[in-house]
Structure 1
């Protein structure tokens, strides 16, 4: 039930309190509710969903009950070996094993007891597909589409998707829908699919501000919210956590605030932190992500790190040793008509397609455009240390723009005027003119295009080996007629470009926990009754991005572990003290 803080009354008591209503927090709350606990879910913003609501909703869980339907050969042992090789000493092997053990159990438990339903993508390669133990299918789960009308008035609680990822004023589309929409004039099956989508959306817009057919991350959040409300979980939005109260046995209460209201809430089992990480924490962002402008972050606004501050005040600590403190994607940025900033992550739709390339200030390529978005973002920052590469420039010609679009510019090559007018899209009748408008070296750009055109003919990228792994080829164009599905010529004027920046899409560095998701202090002792999951927790991936959904997968698994441990703890008649000192009140700074 959706409540207000005032309605809780003074000194309300819950078995489990979850801080943060993104995918990890909502999953933890649902597991606790399934296990019979009285659960309070607290969200600091007006919406539930966090960055999960913006995402594809892909959840990386090896050896789940869905995997055999698309890949009978994969096992947890294969996945463990893959992670050992991909991540190595950047994270704890014990924590990775806990994730691999809990993930399939979490999927089965939630699906058997709620409206949350997944399916395995038929083809969705691990990003580091060149590493032994990787797979092309089976580990990437996606939520089934959800009818938002089931939520009634609560539908308005779901964070809407990024507007630029929708069509026709709020109609969500997933990977399969995009293909059908592009082929609707070519194939009858695609026409029929597209017609159903359009008819449904037309009906929706008669009574709702956006489409109620939810897919990807919005579908996952919709299913979680529906299941939580069915289970009687109390949900508070626009509510902040001001304090953790610590007694002899650990965290025993929290203080919450909403506008001028404050309430102390007692906790029997535990507090689970799932507030999204530090990405919008001003001081910690400057320390951990130097040079990354906050305006480049496409994440949800609630990731302020304030809940982590409370944990640090009672003895928690941040992890160390990750490849990067954040996960990254190249993004392009544009001011919307209402004055807000649109940040568009360039995941798969353009940069790796034939006839596309990325260059720096000298007009030269400096990376493999088909690498994962995480490695792309890291490469931009690394290159920028010696040659101006932030922004970088994603370049194509008129044919590339028509076929694949360019960031917020959709395929088709039409409706370019507003993008050109505000400078988001830059056009040049010649390559020299494009270079001049971008302020980059024209000789370097001309040479890079000439090299790319030669590579398109031979199928071999002599500079960065583009199109040499299964993952890279999956993000090329399967229908491309050239020898390499990722390489195509750039030659049909006019020419176009958008500016790219490294955007942090989630925190990799977080609070250190054990295999039960219990937050550990500086002496590696669990802080009783305090748990962390999602991006509040140190990533088991060690800042590496080995496959699709490697934030949501561990978020689900450790949310499951945290919830089950907290529920059991709350039912235990006596809990061994973790600290003999008097009650400590940790206030937010």
Structure 2
């Protein structure tokens, strides 16, 4: 941004106006827009890209939610928001915001059912494996199992509900009421068009859904120094605009060091290799041919462990059974088509193909076979019960660790209103998804699978309805 991110007082002119303006057309922004429109508001979504995509379209599209009718349809009848919140807190070692975790766990189920009933989003629940940290099958997805397909459904719903989406419109400035007693009410948003054209949009309420700051190297170095030079596998538009607006307004920030990493990004193809393969028995070896961690602990913290290996990479090693399971995932099929997945008929051929020392490779595979047979414990503490030894033919993918998504951001209350540094809510400013503080706590190990879309959809759901009240109902 070349100018001050927040200006005090009314703008010189208003080019257009809406009851609720939403910045960002990802899952959070579209959820907020759909909810606000259904509540009777005039809604305008501002999107910087020519075609909306963002982090949602790049994700796997899996959304964890408890106590839904979709779970009950597959026989999961004992999941509850309290159980889900406990899983979130356990993964974060109790270091995340417990109230936000409970809020997300209680909100996400009704939000997904609302999307099914009012936006035509059809959900299915994955029940062939559990992601690390989840105690029940609760991952919801659309039939295609991709974030792009989920995002397309949300866009289609927005079109059906006649929600205006202004593309190629980057929000650059917020205008706040000059009267300090007004609680810093946002009165307008300045946007910039390609070629330098500028417009000003009046708003009754504003929802910040512009995601996190992974695309800004300076902010990453400042808040997540351990990944300051790591590959960023996220949307380039996640440049921390919401953080800068919040800081200029005096908003509270929390857990800025938290993030989602991933320890299985195909190198150099930059294609995500689903962690489901690890849960089905795949292992990771470094260039010496040695395992170096409990691969079932979680893909987020695995990013740091992989980057700490010689050269900053590892090899995913698995067999035909795991390979066939992986083919159910579109990103894995993409990796196969790109040539990232290699196969070898013997240990010797696998060593020659990967460059791994044959003796150490063979020793590692033998050790895993013994652990699977129960004749020795895993030195890293992984539970191999129910998993079979890896048998030829073998499959291998060279992977590295990457930063996917930041998890810290603006502090919010129970209806997704942004809070200032004294915990006072702003009158009409809301945030969700990557723009808000999430539920992963202050470090990479706290990320529970699906936390990103969880807070995008749950907090967007809350923000959309509350923004209508802030915009249309008289102040009390």
Question: When the two structures are superposed, what TM-score results if normalisation uses the length of structure 1?
Answer: 0.68
Separation in 2 of the partners of 1:402 and 1:78?
Answer: 32
Q: Does the Cα contact within 8 Å between 2:170 and 2:191 map onto a contact in 1? A: yes
Structure 2 CA distance for partners of 1:459 and 1:405, relative to 1, 3 Å: farther
Pairwise CA distance, 1:487: 3.8
Match of 1:388 in 2: 310
Pairwise CA distance, 1:541: 3.1
Separation in 2 of the partners of 1:429 and 1:140?
Answer: 35
Q: Deviations over 1:128-163 (max 9, x none)?
A: 25xxxx22x2x32223x4xxxxxxxxxxxxxxxxxx
1:296-307 pair list within 5 angstroms: 296-307=231-242
5+ residue gaps, structure 2: 1-12
Q: Does the Cα contact within 8 Å between 1:296 and 1:333 map onto a contact in 2? A: no
1:67 partnered with 2:66? no
State the aligned residue count.
Answer: 453
1:522 partnered with 2:448? no
1:462 partnered with 2:378? yes
1:35 partnered with 2:34? no
Q: Deviations over 1:251-278 (max 9, x none)?
A: 111101111211011111x211111211
Structure 2 CA distance for partners of 1:343 and 1:319, relative to 1, 3 Å: same
Separation in 2 of the partners of 1:403 and 1:233?
Answer: 42
Q: 1:221 aligns with which of 151, 159, 163?
A: 151
Structure 2 CA distance for partners of 1:461 and 1:256, relative to 1, 3 Å: same
Q: 2:467 aligns with which of 566, 571, 577?
A: 566
Structure 2 CA distance for partners of 1:404 and 1:310, relative to 1, 3 Å: same
Pairwise CA distance, 1:18: 0.9
Q: 2:163 aligns with which of 233, 251, 254?
A: 233
Q: 1:52 aligns with which of 36, 56, 60?
A: 56
1:284 partnered with 2:210? no
Q: Report the secondary structure of 1:226's partner residue.
A: helix
Q: Report the secondary structure of 1:222's partner residue.
A: helix
Q: 1:98 aligns with which of 99, 103, 106?
A: 103
Q: Does the Cα contact within 8 Å between 1:316 and 1:512 map onto a contact in 2? A: yes
Q: Does the Cα contact within 8 Å between 1:11 and 1:265 map onto a contact in 2? A: yes
Pairwise CA distance, 1:405: 7.4
Separation in 2 of the partners of 1:94 and 1:363?
Answer: 44
Match of 1:379 in 2: 305
Match of 2:407 in 1: 508
Structure 2 CA distance for partners of 1:348 and 1:92, relative to 1, 3 Å: closer
Q: Does the Cα contact within 8 Å between 1:344 and 1:408 map onto a contact in 2? A: no
Match of 1:326 in 2: 260
Match of 2:366 in 1: 450
1:315 partnered with 2:250? yes
5+ residue gaps, structure 1: 1-8, 146-172, 175-215, 335-341, 469-483, 576-589
Pairwise CA distance, 1:402: 6.8
Q: Deviations over 1:388-409 (max 9, x none)?
A: 3721222357x57975679999
Q: Does the Cα contact within 8 Å between 1:329 and 1:503 map onto a contact in 2? A: yes
Q: Report the secondary structure of 2:215's partner residue.
A: coil
Separation in 2 of the partners of 1:500 and 1:408?
Answer: 18
Identify the range of structure 1 (89-98 vs 559-568) with the bigger mean alpha-carbon deviation: 89-98
Q: Does the Cα contact within 8 Å between 2:63 and 2:140 map onto a contact in 1? A: yes
Q: Does the Cα contact within 8 Å between 1:350 and 1:404 map onto a contact in 2? A: yes
Q: Does the Cα contact within 8 Å between 1:467 and 1:487 map onto a contact in 2? A: no
Structure 2 CA distance for partners of 1:66 and 1:433, relative to 1, 3 Å: closer
Pairwise CA distance, 1:233: 1.1
Q: Does the Cα contact within 8 Å between 1:51 and 1:300 map onto a contact in 2? A: yes
Structure 2 CA distance for partners of 1:485 and 1:459, relative to 1, 3 Å: farther
Q: 1:347 aligns with which of 274, 278, 288?
A: 274
Separation in 2 of the partners of 1:414 and 1:346?
Answer: 10
1:69-468 pair list within 5 angstroms: 69=73, 70-87=75-92, 89-123=94-128, 125=130, 127-129=132-134, 134-135=135-136, 137=137, 139-143=138-142, 145=143, 173-174=144-145, 216-247=146-177, 248=179, 249=182, 250-259=185-194, 260-268=196-204, 270-290=205-225, 292=227, 296-320=231-255, 324-334=258-268, 342-348=269-275, 350-354=277-281, 356-381=282-307, 384=308, 388=310, 390-395=312-317, 419=339, 444-458=360-374, 462-468=378-384
Q: Report the secondary structure of 1:559's partner residue.
A: helix
Q: Deviations over 1:426-462 (max 9, x none)?
A: 7889867866876665654343233234335547553
Structure 2 CA distance for partners of 1:431 and 1:287, relative to 1, 3 Å: farther
Q: Does the Cα contact within 8 Å between 2:351 and 2:358 map onto a contact in 1? A: yes
Q: Report the secondary structure of 1:376's partner residue.
A: helix
Pairwise CA distance, 1:317: 3.7
Separation in 1 of the partners of 2:405 and 2:251?
Answer: 20
Question: When the two structures are superposed, what TM-score results if normalisation uses the length of structure 2?
Answer: 0.83
Structure 2 CA distance for partners of 1:293 and 1:440, relative to 1, 3 Å: farther
Separation in 2 of the partners of 1:264 and 1:455?
Answer: 64
Q: Report the secondary structure of 2:312's partner residue.
A: coil
Q: Deviations over 1:534-582 (max 9, x none)?
A: 111111232556754222122211111111111101113347xxxxxxx
CA RMSD of aligned residues (A): 3.5
Q: Does the Cα contact within 8 Å between 2:175 and 2:186 map onto a contact in 1? A: yes
Q: Does the Cα contact within 8 Å between 1:521 and 1:527 map onto a contact in 2? A: yes
Structure 2 CA distance for partners of 1:496 and 1:571, relative to 1, 3 Å: closer
1:538 partnered with 2:437? yes
